[in-house]
Structure 1
Amino acid sequence: MTASDVLAKAYLESREEVLPVWAKIDETVMANHERVLDSFISERVALHHMSGTTGYGYGDAGRDTLDRLYARVFGAQDGLVRPHWASGTHALKTALFALLRPGDDVLAVTGPSYDTLAPVTGEGGLKGFGITYRETDCLSLYEEGRIDMDAVEADLSSKIRSETRVLYIQRSRGYSARKSISVSSLLEFMGLVKRRWPGLWTMVDNCYCEFTGQVEPPMLGVSLTVGSLIKNPGGGLAPTGAYAVGESEAVARVAESLYAPGLGSEAGSWAAGYRDLYQGFFLAPKVVGECLKGIAFAASFLGRLGFKVDPGPLEERSDIVQAVTLGSPEKLKAFAAAIQASSPVDSFATPEPWDMPGYGRQIIMAAGTFVQGSSIELSCDAPFTEPYTAYLQGGLTKEHVMLAVRRAASKVLGV
């Protein structure tokens, strides 16, 4: 059997293997799409809501309806959806500074946070304002089945201080080997926190996780949930921005942190209009479903070819990220180059590792996307360090993901 035959056989076998997974994803898509549709109807979304405003943005019906729409879909008391946020990290920074004051303490319970958050919690961010940031990995260990909830409670009891105000949860794995945090684990965790420490804020970084299941963090009692519009909820159409949903007081604080005390959510215009934000949100459940189908296939296909993949093709997913360990710098560069070459935009570019802003190590990134930096569109990025693991994410259609990973495998294996 030739190398090309091996690829073709793995491709066909993987398509067959993931069919039951795809059927389950379809059920999730239908449930989420119905909730989104009913929310649009309940909020009486109209054509005039698509129009932009200028200046202060007072009385911006499109903006205010979009806030209520997100809150309804996510099961939150209030919402804040703004194109003025440049990234998810920008929104997370705004939210942390909204909930915390000098002398306060925040405890991250999922281990090390994403690379770009390090400057936010460091000397130029929280630390410089007299706010302490600490980490424990108890919720991640619980997700992986390595400890039980009694051990989580004991760990938190030993680490929560009188000045602790926020328990911080990053659901997606980031550039780490840990599992992403499932809704079931988050449910158990929130039950513990509400029972033992009801006065603490809980904050979830929900980036990469929206619509991967039928339950969102605010439905479980999380105080504040934050995410990026150029990831899942933007549906591939939102050109920029982020959202915050949760308890009314928490969202109000975020609005004043973003704009100014006294202005809150009643300010902020957007002359370009909101059509892409509304339409992208409407399409998001389907687009996320396509992405989940694509990366499930990628896990099966690349796993059959001998690559270490996580999650596996049949595992339940809580985000849209697929880790693929290539094992060498040459293979990682070849993989990223092939993903870039299989992109609809900038396919002619060759990705190289570089000192990307916000990261403390070199990153290689393949991102031939219509929206710069969009990770609901197919992209691939990785720290250029051992064990040379690529993080494949996004995909507006499963077919695009399938085509790209087949070409990437061929490139890496020299077929």
Structure 2
Amino acid sequence: MLDQDHVDFEHLWEQWAEAAEEQASSRLRAMDRIVENNQEKVINAFQKHRVSDFHFAASTGYGYNDSGREVLDLVYADVFGAEAAIVRPHLVSGTHTISAALFGCLRPGDELLFVTGRPYDTLHKVIGKPGDGLGSLADWGVHTKIVPLLEDGSVNWEAIGAAVSERTKVFAIQRSRGYDWRPSFTIDQIADMVSRIKAIQPDGIVFVDNCYGEFTEQREPTEVGVDLMAGSLIKNPGGGLAPSGGYIAGKQRLVELAAYRMTAPGIGGEVGAMLGTTRSIFQGLFLAPLLVGQAVKGSIFASAIFERLGFETHPRWNDPRTDLIQAIRFSAAEPLVHFVQSIQKAAAVDAHVVPEPWDMPGYEHPVIMAAGTFIQGGSLELSADAPVREPYIAYMQGGLTYAHVKFAVKGTLREFRKRGYL
């Protein structure tokens, strides 16, 4: 027999969920339109390049003349409005992919300028320190400058103008918020950044870390003048099916240079057995617009319901969306940890596992991560992570189905009510 507390919570949940969905209905419908437009874009690219069953065949060894791999690159380039692209399972993470792109473009004596503030934690070792012996950018003689954002989260153009030198070659933009309480940058904002950067340094290379942003809007950074961008296949564009990998897209010459870093000079993207992953990468791309839409709708719902219950959220339910990430601020470490643990408990995979904060490689503070996913670390799937530090902010992302996100939010609120946080 159900106890009264369970009955009371179910009644409250129905009220909260219905009110949140009614409040956010216009935003949810708008996301459906974005899904439809992006789905059309993807299908058109598949049809243009005559994707066929034989393109899914596995290659081995060097992978010479792998037509599936070659067509996959062309499809990605078309979807992202770029001159060229490389898409490979051998790129092991977003950080690896971004690193290949930056090392491909930069040479000793060049300068890298981050215009959107301090980059994501895992890039700090890529940037490195002079003489660190790690093979970092600094170890290879590339100098990096980071221009902090203004207090309102906008780009500090006056400071950027002062920071640019004749050595400045690459201007880096991180589209998503990372572990910061700031807005992520929309495509319109990135287009404005490109225009301003080119006015300052016409020959400068504009690079975008596009992780978490693909298909959340109707355009991608390379469609508004960005020279090069990179992302991970276990995030948005892999559609929950790609088992590993990353992509780099942009100007032909820059993609070629990145490919030389990915493999070796003179080899580039001409080789590389796909090891049976081609079908899942193609199919994941086909599904990506829909599944990204499901995840974004889940974030809108979560923001609406947590905001109604007195929590601070970013973005708020009615703010423009340009990535998957939903940030929620808590008053202390305990509710932060319990939130992440509740997301894990709602998973279909490893729901019985209780995550704890730990010193994760590449991060500067203990991090707690909920990742009950079919693809290890796949953040298009419902996941959450948080550095356990002030301010106590959890970053939730993904959700292959809207229903799963709702289920997870329901479980979190049940746990919060039990612990007296509500």
Instruction: Compute the TM-score of the two structures, normalised by the length of structure 2.
Output: 0.94
Contact 2:153 2:182 in 1 (8 A): no
Matches within 5 A, 1:16-415: 16-123=22-129, 124=134, 125-138=136-149, 144=152, 152=157, 154-414=158-418
Q: Sequence identity, in percent?
A: 43
Matched residues in 2 for 1:294 and 1:266: separation? Answer: 40
Secondary structure of 1:255's aligned partner: helix
Distance across 1 between alignment mates of 2:310 and 2:182:
21
User: Match for 1:78: what amino acid?
Assistant: A
Per-residue CA distance 1:110-161 (angstroms, 9 max, x = gap) = 10100100110013311111111111135x76xx5767xxx62x33221101
Q: CA deviation at 1:98?
A: 0.5
Give the distance between the partners of 1:271 and 1:31, measured in 2 at CA. 32
CA distance in 2, matches of 1:240, 1:220: 28
8 Å Cα contact 2:359/2:365 also seen in 1: yes
- C-alpha distance in 1, partners of 2:49/2:95? 29
3-state DSSP of counterpart to 2:139 = helix
Cα distance in 1 for partners of 2:355, 2:145 equals 35
**Unaligned 5+ residue runs, structure 2?**
none
SS where residue 128 of structure 1 aligns?
A: coil
- Residue 305 of structure 1 and its aligned partner are, at CA, apart by 1.2
| Residues 327, 386 of structure 1: 8 Å contact kept | no
| Structure 1 residue 7, shift from structure 2 partner | 3.7
Tell me how far apart the structure 2 counterparts of residues 15 and 217 of structure 1 sit (CA, whole Å): 30
User: Counterpart amino acid of 1:66?
Assistant: L
Alpha-carbon deviation of 1:413?
2.7
| Structure 1 portions without partners, runs of 5+ | none
Structure 1 position 195, deviation (Å): 3.0
* One-letter amino acid of the structure 2 residue matched with residue 203 of structure 1: F
- Residue 273 of structure 1 deviates from its aligned partner by 3.7
Contact kept? 2:145, 2:163, Cα under 8 Å: no
With 5-14 and 281-290 compared, the bigger mean Cα shift is at 5-14
Structure 1 length-normalised TM: 0.95
CA contact (8 A) 1:53 1:273 kept: no
**1:334–1:233 Cα change, 3 Å:** same
**Count of aligned positions:** 408
SS in 1 for 2:70: helix
Letter in 1 for 2:63: G
SS of equivalent to 1:373: coil
Residues 320-366 of structure 1, C-alpha deviations (whole Å, 9 max, x = no match): 00001122121112111111110000000001000111111100001
- For residue 387 of structure 1, report the CA deviation from its aligned partner: 2.0
C-alpha contact 1:356 1:363 (8 A) present in aligned 2: yes
Looking at structure 2, the residues matched to 56 and 364 of structure 1 have their Cα atoms a distance apart, in angstroms, of 39
Contact persistence 2:94–2:232 (CA under 8 A): yes
CA root-mean-square deviation:
1.6
Runs of 4+, deviation exceeding 6 Å: none
Aligned partner of residue 240 in structure 1, secondary structure? coil
What do residues 173-231 of structure 1 show as CA deviations (whole Å, max 9, x unaligned)? 00011110111111111112233311011110000000000010111111101000000
Give the whole-Å Cα distance in 1 for the aligned partners of 2:398 and 2:331: 22
Moved more, 58-67 or 119-128: 119-128
- Decide whether the 8 Å contact of 2:115 with 2:171 is kept in 1: yes
